[in-house]
Chains A and B, each alone.
Chain A
Amino acid sequence: MVGIVKYGAGNIFSVMASVKKIKKDCYFIENEDDIEKAEYIILPGVGNFSEGIEFLNKRRLNEKIKEKIKNGVPFLGICLGLQMLFEYSEEGNKEGMKILKGKVVRFKNINLKIPHMGWNSLKILKNNYLLEEIPENPYFYFAHSYYVLPEENDIIYGKTEYGINFSSLIIKENIVGVQFHPEKSGENGLKFIRNFLEKKWLQ
């Protein structure tokens, strides 16, 4: 079963619909007890950083997610779900889950509109099975004003250009994080989620 963490108020429906579309069973994780049966965890990206973190702390999901990740459960963080893995965010000056080293910062002095909104291409730095059957320099859908600055360079698998080159695909052991929304990225996105739910990328 694929567990989708339900927090905040936004379009989590599409994450669920995309998992169902590739014929996998899924359910919502709302409390710490819900997490046990999750064979995969998806942390979607909705709302703002401080409210997201507060929700995870309040429901004791923060610790539970860490525990599951430590036990090797494949994890996918989308947009804010990627950002919350880091130590700190400029959005609300809040501490994150501290699973990954680094911080989250706002786009500054780029002379472009913020939010970064629309389809942009992923420049692949290191290949991985997650990108199987997805064309080169694939377009994915982005909608964000903040981006991650990881301290560990070797976990950055893909970058995207918007005034600067920011990290848009992170892989570390059983953790995957994407700044884009695969559930809103048409065929490329569905393939990405399908690949995530096949465990080959872990090997």
Chain B
Amino acid sequence: MVAVRIIPCLDVKDGKVVKGVHFENLKIAGDPVENASFYSKEGADEIVFLDISATIEGRKTMVDVVRKVAEVIFIPLTVGGGINSIEDIEKLLSNGADKISINTSAVKNPRIIEEGAKKFGSQCIVVAIDAKKVGEGKWEVYIESGKTPTGMDVIEWAKKIESLGAGEILLTSIDKDGTQDGYDIELTRSVSENVNIPVIASGGAGKLQHLYDAIVFGKANAVLIASLLHFRILTIPQIKSYLKEKGIEVRL
């Protein structure tokens, strides 16, 4: 059976990892290759790079980051942030990214999902949804780094994404992100049960139990983790042996 994936997320700004692994040697702290290599050795099943550069020049460096990482690390790489066109997607994929993740541009122009899936295959196209709770069992889609409400219902949007050919959903709870008090299980389960493509849960992980809950009760196929790993509160081997003990298949 396919193993549940543990995915570290690294923020990249102007070609450098920010808030990455807290290495003692600060010289390598911002190096994307060092960060990715560290997690790959620890047993990460994939790595997500999120480009948070504010300028066009900054974004251009992302292609170099991917290329350098893909030359030495042989696990799947996903890149998100600032991807607006089929050309952007093509550039990243042809330089070593396996998947791209789109959020704001998918909402503004859903055709990018359809065209991307047709040209590169569904397995390359991840759509990220930032969800904010607006009522009992109801969430709204936010874009532009969680700043702008769209009026769109998360479940409806998730179904639409699937029908357009996306291969995966990266689902972040805006309410839970940064709180460390657990994933939004209800949100994750609602989305996962309403689509037939894999769902990656994100936002709110604070302890081992949270990961188990997202997988078993939230029905997530993968979990995205950032600060918990970067600050060494948990390690990937620790997470995997815990999940394995609980009867969940992981790649050790």
**Size bin of chain B's contact surface:** 35 or more
Residue of chain B at shortest CB distance from A20: B71
Query: Given contacts A11-B97, A114-B197, is CB(A18)–CB(B121) below 8 Å?
Result: no
Residue of chain B at shortest CB distance from A18: B74
Q: Which of A53-61, A138-146, A151-159 contacts B (4 or more CB under 8 A)?
A: A138-146
Interface membership of B196, Cβ < 8 A: yes
Q: Is the interface of A mostly helix, strand, loop or mixed?
A: mixed
Query: Given contacts A17-B71, A21-B72, A161-B1, is CB(A145)–CB(B122) below 8 Å?
Result: yes
User: Is there an interface contact between B75 and A186, defined as CB atoms closer than 8 Å?
Assistant: yes
Q: Is the interface of B mostly helix, strand, loop or mixed?
A: loop
Contacts of B97 in A (CB 8 A): 11
User: Is there an interface contact between B197 and A142, defined as CB atoms closer than 8 Å?
Assistant: no
Contacts of B198 in A (CB 8 A): 113, 115, 117-118
User: Is there an interface contact between A184 and B75, defined as CB atoms closer than 8 Å?
Assistant: yes
User: Is there an interface contact between A11 and B96, defined as CB atoms closer than 8 Å?
Assistant: yes
Q: How many residues of A contact B (CB 8 A)?
A: 38
Q: For window 122-173 of chain B, which residues contact chain A by CB distance below 8 Å?
A: 122-124, 167-168
Q: For window 188-226 of chain B, which residues contact chain A by CB distance below 8 Å?
A: 196-199, 221-222
Give, as a whole number of angstroms, the nearest-CB distance from A142 to chain B: 7
User: Is there an interface contact between A13 and B221, defined as CB atoms closer than 8 Å?
Assistant: no
Among B98, B119, B123, point to the contact of A14 (Cβ < 8 A): B98
22 A-B pairs with CB atoms under 8 Å apart are A8-B120, A10-B93, A11-B94, A13-B96, A14-B70, A14-B74, A14-B96, A17-B71, A18-B74, A47-B120, A114-B197, A115-B122, A115-B198, A116-B2, A117-B198, A118-B2, A118-B3, A119-B3, A139-B251, A184-B75, A184-B98, A190-B74
